[in-house]
A and B are shown apart, each in its own frame.
Chain A
């Protein structure tokens, strides 16, 4: 993708102008991102993403340059300009690309670039038709089809020279239902780190009908009551609650500067003893997985919280320097335009002992969150929020009426202590995470869990 001699030139310039470490991230990706409305193309297109990100460290300081002009002159000039800012003397470091990195293998059978666009549009049409036929209240179906073949080359002055191919596809199906002037939506977004063989193994019509079912349920739902109550969050992408409640606060980008609520808490009990939280970027063909992270380190399984005790943070190279800790292969970036930082991959709560039925039966009154929409967190305070796309009241140990417009808020350190039941039906869902180093593909999962009490926002006064 870029020859070794150009990379060596970049490194030489970086090291002679003040850097003690330099890295290149070269990307050549083919992707298709198309939205259909009612089965017809509405926006997006196919194309090639191409460019390089050059990063230079000196101690704890880092500089970054990116460009999609890969001519040697341009790259050398940009490297010179940014490394001069480090304002230090020349370092004597020999680079010989001898550090062998073997990426985790994820098999890809049908590369998206080998498939005609018409086949991809056909998938979107099938989902659209299935959702429309579900019920007469279904008014509109939008499908965001995505595939990406991301080829990266990562090399650094520590001798790493590794290539990784990440092939992904996903269909985000958004279904709107309209009744009595009210419009509500349901969505589902199956995807994988896989070629288009993914669609041979899943029934896209079933997914579309599930999104349609949510939309229909919510259009007939009343408003969610406001107040404090127990909350049961169902298995699957509900794990996004932990992604927000504690995942971000465990990222070295907040921890290193002492700005996280979980800074300096390794070895301490930060969660209820029934909580074990894992981040694993090596799971075969899972949406949030990679062969190597975006700093060229083989992805691995990281146990963050074990039986309530904080075991590890998510660490990238630069923050690792600051903390005096090794990278956990958590350095990620959206593309060459972003310097990597510590981010999540597939983050999930491990199975517990309860069944979903037991959890519901043991809840006299509360909220059942079937599907989560999205959320966010302030890592410094731990305050987080997320909204629900499908929710129900629990009354006398039974799931009763659906409610709409629910937003849950809480505090990460408190909620971790307040988990009082964990189910045994772990599932991982697929989504995106937006933060400093861009929009990333992430998995979030959990079994069904119960939180003793949470503040629920809704329009209905209790």
Chain B
């Protein structure tokens, strides 16, 4: 599609200022199953979204058909949107003066490997998983996916920017079986290179979780001291992370509202959002409004420092955008999103945490996060698996339990923070957390 023609036609339709946002991506992926290559796939796509003012109101529309004959439909959809947009908030298109971004280019190390090398790396992962323990009877998923995405923004006020980022993701899920029981595990890792240490870590995590859970049973319902292992804490925080988004706060959907400058967690708790992080799910030097991004503390030493803002939400508070004006896809209007978030690591090792517990549970898996958390009240009730800890030692695996508590209370009930950061899935809000020991949660078992 000819962007010049699109802008020209837009003017003829009476659209005052316009911005084009294109998302181009290419991807490759495959699975390994019983030593064989399966489900190899490739893709290439170009998607385009526009926004612009019509009679003083912002309108949006998108198309995946990037031919000139789509222009009329695109513009008329934008106009219909603008005609029905009654928002009083003003969305501003950035001008070229904002675009003096320090261009940081990141080398894509995955490009150094051929498809064949990637395939044999994954084959060795599957093989190692089987070798690690004879009770591993199936490798349910051994998958590699890589994607290179290029964002391009150009508007009629002179702004023109582009950013490219590549990400690789390896997923490993195994099934362990003995005479009496079947257990599974699931682990995922964002990779920027094919390193032996990544492989070892993935295999160790997946295999030991499945094998160690064999023979798990439920436990008596009551309150227990709890360790949320790094992966579990990461999933929980990932799901709750929108409470730090300016638009959520302004709509009264976050109990963090009004707490800037106040203590919201224990003094050892610090949360960072870093758009330029190494090995992140995304790497962005500017956001989808063309505002330069930067790394910042959201919570520092237990005190809430800032919410994440786009132009519109910042304006309402008399603040500047924090560079978090992102679309969730080409079908999304500008909202607020986080890039890479994480809890700063503490000093304790997981073993030290376990050794301090007289009777408690280490939670190693939670399910049903999409429904088991009330994101407004912070109340959660989640199906879980884990291990019983007695007198400082892990004594047996536990399954079929539900842990219940409140996220906001949990921030103040943290006893210690580990030094073992693990990130949640890059498909959701990418959040890293070390293992966390908390005073207690209600556990429903038998």
Contacts and interface: CB of A to CB of B under 8 A. Distances in A.
Contacts of A373: 371
A37 B184 contact: no
A458 B404 contact: yes
B124 interface: no
Contact of B381 (A50, A61, A406): A406
| Highest count of chain A CB atoms <10 Å: which of B36, B60, B253, B381 | B381
Interface residues of B, number: 74
Interface string B363-402: 0000110111010110101110000000000000001111
B86 interface: yes
| Highest count of chain A CB atoms <10 Å: which of B37, B374, B383 | B383
A50 B64 contact: yes
Interface in A315-335: none
A381 B368 CA distance: 15
* CB-CB nearest 10 A-B residue pairs: A457-B402, A385-B383, A226-B444, A374-B371, A47-B62, A407-B381, A50-B65, A64-B41, A45-B60, A457-B444
B85 A226 contact: no
Contacts of B33: 257
A46 B38 contact: no
A324 to B, nearest CB: 18
Interface in B321-374: 331-333, 335, 367-368, 370-372, 374
B38 A48 contact: no
Interface in A430-452: 434
A69 B85 contact: no
Contacts of A63: 39-41
B367 A117 contact: no
A134 to B, nearest CB: 18
A378 B47 contact: no
A69 B377 contact: no
A74 interface: yes
B372 A40 contact: no
A375 B371 contact: yes
Interface of A: 28, 33, 37, 40-41, 43-51, 61-69, 74, 78, 81-82, 85, 116-118, 121, 139-140, 176, 178, 182-185, 224, 226-228, 257-259, 261, 337, 339, 373-376, 378, 380-381, 383, 385-387, 404-407, 409-411, 434, 455-462
A117 B444 contact: no
A218 B84 CA distance: 33
A207 to B, nearest CB: 20
Given A33-B331, A45-B81, A184-B374, A387 B184 contact: no
B331 A383 contact: no
Contacts of A33: 331
Contact of B379 (A47, A226, A404, A456): A404
B223 interface: yes
Contacts of B38: 61-62
B128 to A, nearest CB: 20
A46 B40 contact: no
A64 B39 contact: yes
B41 A40 contact: no
Given A48-B65, A118-B80, A227 B376 contact: no
B63 A337 contact: no
Nearest to B380: A405
B57 to A, nearest CB: 10
Contacts of A404: 379
B134 interface: no
A241 to B, nearest CB: 12
| Highest count of chain A CB atoms <10 Å: which of B37, B60, B221 | B221
A78 B42 contact: yes
B382 A46 contact: no
A433 B74 CA distance: 30
Contact of B372 (A50, A176, A182, A385): A385
A66 B184 CA distance: 31
Contacts of B383: 383, 385, 407, 409, 457
Nearest to B183: A381
27 contacts: A28-B65, A40-B86, A43-B333, A43-B335, A45-B61, A45-B332, A50-B63, A50-B64, A63-B40, A63-B41, A68-B46, A140-B253, A226-B443, A259-B175, A337-B43, A376-B367, A383-B400, A407-B383, A407-B404, A410-B400, A455-B401, A455-B402, A456-B402, A457-B381, A457-B404, A458-B381, A458-B444
